[in-house]
Amino acid sequence: MVLEETIADQGYLFNTGQSFESFGFLGCHVQADNKTAFNVWAPNARIVSVVGDFNDWRDSELTKVGTTGIWHGDFDGVNSGDLYKFAITGPDGKRNLKIDPYATQFEKKPGDAALVPAISKHKWHDGLWLGRRKRSNPDCRPLNIYEVHLGSWKRHVDDTYYTYSEMADELIPYVKKMGYSHIELMPIMEHLLDASWGYQQLGYFAATSRFGTLDDFLDFVDKCHLANIGVIVDWVPGHFIRNYDALYKYDGTPTFEYQDENRANNSRWGAWNFDLGKSQVHSFLISSAMYWLGKCHIDGLRVDAVSNMLYLDYDEGKEGQTNKLGDNRNLEGIEFLQLLNTVIHKKYPNALMIAEESSAYAGVTDPVEKNGLGFDYKWNLGWMHDTLEFFEMDPLYRSDHFNLLTFAFVYMNNEKFILPFSHDEVVHGKKSLMHKMPGDRYNQFANLRTMMTYLMTFPGKKLTFMGSEWGQFLEWRDWSQLEWVDLDDPMNQKMQQFTKKLNQIYHDQRSMWEQDYVIEGLNYTNTDDAKNSTMGFIRQGKSKRQFTIAAFNFVPVERKNYRIGVPFTGEYELLLNTEDESLGGTWTRLQTHFLADKTPYKGQPASFTVTLPAMGALLIKPIKSRG
């Protein structure tokens, strides 16, 4: 039986915002004496009961523990798998059924009752993976993320979901074969509305029951690690589902959300904002992050909608709101994010904390001790939007808008960036990456190959959304599986082979990831040729003899005798020609070797010439260099 003194001690830490593993005592827990304990925080409730299968949905009252605001009860006859909810009578005397905020599994939608947890039978086998992760610096490692929505990657013929186990059998080998380093799962925390994609969360400690049990999910993560694939999960600490039987007015009063309904209401996303200045909310949310990173062995969290937590006026209808200093920053939100990253990195120093932040807020990836937010990485949404706008443009006009590409060079070292071509850019009428590309079908593929090569060579870690790797034409639909039938078409097959080869090159060439976040990692050799819409630069590794040359032609006009400046004379070899016929292009004969002489060019002491393919790119590396 859980002692009241222990709950009081835990409650003190929870109420002061210092209980970062509060899932250990709040929620539902099977005790050693075969009793089952229920603990829930509802500080302003008049009466709290648990109702469920084990008591025929009749009230079994809990007892309030001192002044902690936590209610506790131990009961016999509770079985794993029983459904339950809390019945909470608020200060106004109204009784409402509420979810367990700490439930680790819910019944399948449309219901939202929690399940009494079973003793986990999962045994971890990923010690080697965790050991390697602990010893490595992700900044100096390849990070090539495959973003996945589990509900629509693949489905059965009858349109039912694949289970976590079936995903392990099919998704993991596919990701391994394609050469990605990590899978990023769009939110798999429990949610009711499919169309929310998981971003309106119900359960902050529960993997969705759509695809199986908690143990099934843990097995999936374990198998990813055994295949040397990391797992990142999208996480939403800024706002929660609007449903009244969830967290909203949990004890009959604003409990998890702001007291001020205007601040609590998130009209843009149809959700409620967490009160990020509340110490109990700190304990709740940081415990959620710790649960996924610790109990579930997740390798990183991509924190959604950080801008909404940074600004008071980010949402519609909140223009003009200011803080006590007179500006629009949400000081509470900033302090919460700093605390979150401090706590996470103290316990899990090699966990990846990734910010999806859409403004120019400075210091997102700076250390907290230097007044930064403390994230490891930030999505570079500016680079993404500018790059897509450039490639969607008719090549005839690209020379006049070359700054869309070159502007990113100005700020690329301001933060530690991830370059994302994410789900947000291939939905709601924005078209798929393939469909965005101008011209006929051949030219669309040529543009796509060139753009993906540009992504993989520009400084920063990488993320692409599922289906982009073979050039799916239809934009993403969350209600059906990807258009795998596309791969019956030789052009899509070759695009998939191209992506596989490009990923392999990225993995093998240390220069393409070893110095992503230092100025020495990129040498500008020809980045000012707007007139001809060509670009060249060198990705530099830590060894001066280790580098990759990237040359791009962004218009459908072949450039003969295109000169490339290099640091040394000697022999060079081709890594990739995007117009290779085997990869979907038209070149049947490739120049695979190049000899650099002492002709200086564009600030480099040596150079050689190539034929730069129309609407194409070349990647070249040194074999033997002199000088």
**CATH number of the structural domain spanning residue 76:** 2.60.40.10
> Is 15 a domain residue?
yes
Say which residue the tokens 């049990």 belong to: 213
304 tagged catalytic: yes
Reduce the DSSP state of residue 602 to 3 states and report it.
coil
> Is 412 a domain residue?
no
Say which residue the tokens 């200086």 belong to: 600
Are residues 242 and 100 part of one domain? no
Instruction: Please say if the pLDDT value at position 355 is more than 90.
Output: yes
Reduce the DSSP state of residue 18 to 3 states and report it.
coil
Q: What is the CATH number of the domain that holds 595?
A: 2.60.40.1180
Instruction: Please say if the pLDDT value at position 32 is more than 70.
Output: yes
Instruction: Please say if the pLDDT value at position 116 is more than 60.
Output: yes
CA distance 162 to 140: 35
Q: What is the DSSP string of 394-418?
A: -GGGGGGGTHHHHHHHHHTTTS-EE
**Distances from the Cα of 386 to the Cαs of 382, 404, 433, in angstroms?**
6, 5, 14
Q: What is the pLDDT of residue 2?
A: 43
Instruction: Please say if the pLDDT value at position 281 is more than 90.
Output: yes
Strand 300-303 to strand 352-355: parallel, antiparallel, or no bridges (unpaired)?
parallel
Instruction: Please say if the pLDDT value at position 318 is more than 90.
Output: no
> Is 89 a domain residue?
yes
- Is residue 487 within 8 A of residue 442, CB to CB? The reply is no
Q: Which of 83, 115, 147 is the last residue of a domain?
A: 115
> Is 472 a domain residue?
no
Q: What is the pLDDT of residue 8?
A: 86
Which residues constitute the domain of residue 30? 4-115
Instruction: Please say if the pLDDT value at position 330 is more than 90.
Output: yes
Which of 48, 97, 18 has the alpha carbon at shortest distance from 39? 48
Q: Which of 318, 344, 379 is the last residue of a domain?
A: 379
Say which residue the tokens 């908690």 belong to: 214
Are residues 73 and 220 part of one domain? no
Q: Which two tokens stand for residue 335?
A: 């302090």
CA distance 590 to 566: 20
Sheet harboring 547-553: ordered strands across? 522-529, 534-540, 547-553, 616-626, 569-577, 593-596
CA distance 35 to 28: 11
Task: Over range 94-104, report the average pLDDT.
Answer: 98
Say which residue the tokens 């097959």 belong to: 493
Are residues 230 and 89 part of one domain? no
**Distances from the Cα of 475 to the Cαs of 123, 487, 496, 548, in angstroms?**
39, 16, 17, 33
CB neighbour list of residue 32: distance below 8 Å, 6 or more residues apart = none
Q: Which two tokens stand for residue 436?
A: 């965005």
Report CA torsion sign: 600, 601, 605, 610. negative
Are residues 222 and 366 part of one domain? yes
Are residues 234 and 366 part of one domain? yes
Number of Cβ atoms within 10 Å of the Cβ of 449 = 28
- What is the domain count for the chain? 3
| Confidence band of 571 (pLDDT split at 50, 70, 90) | very high
Are residues 365 and 220 part of one domain? yes
> Is 426 a domain residue?
no
Out of 304, 469, 486, 580, pick the active-site residue: 304
CB neighbour list of residue 174: distance below 8 Å, 6 or more residues apart = none
> Is 557 a domain residue?
yes
Strand 63-65 to strand 230-235: parallel, antiparallel, or no bridges (unpaired)?
unpaired
Reduce the DSSP state of residue 202 to 3 states and report it.
coil
> Is 603 a domain residue?
yes
> Is 514 a domain residue?
no
Task: Over range 197-215, report the average pLDDT.
Answer: 96
- Is residue 471 within 8 A of residue 425, CB to CB? The reply is no
Q: Tell me the average pLDDT of the chain.
A: 96
Are residues 90 and 229 part of one domain? no
CA distance 535 to 537: 7
Out of 215, 356, 357, 415, pick the active-site residue: 356
Q: What is the pLDDT of residue 1?
A: 42
Instruction: Please say if the pLDDT value at position 244 is more than 50.
Output: yes
Which of 314, 191, 306 has the alpha carbon at shortest distance from 263? 314
Reduce the DSSP state of residue 177 to 3 states and report it.
helix
400 tagged catalytic: no
Which secondary structure element, helix H or strand E, spans residue 371, and what is its range?
none
Task: Over range 587-601, report the average pLDDT.
Answer: 96
**3-state DSSP: the chain helix, strand, coil percent, rounded to 5?**
30, 25, 40
Q: Kindly report the backbone phi and psi dihedral angles of residue 469, in degrees, each rounded to the nearest multiple of 5, phi listed first.
A: -70, -20
pTM above 0.95, yes or no: yes
Q: What is the CATH number of the domain that holds 320?
A: 3.20.20.80
Q: Which of 350, 379, 408 is the last residue of a domain?
A: 379
Which of 359, 268, 258 has the alpha carbon at shortest distance from 316? 268
**Distances from the Cα of 254 to the Cαs of 113, 145, 282, 459, in angstroms?**
21, 38, 15, 45
Task: Over range 488-516, report the average pLDDT.
Answer: 98
Task: Over range 326-335, report the average pLDDT.
Answer: 96
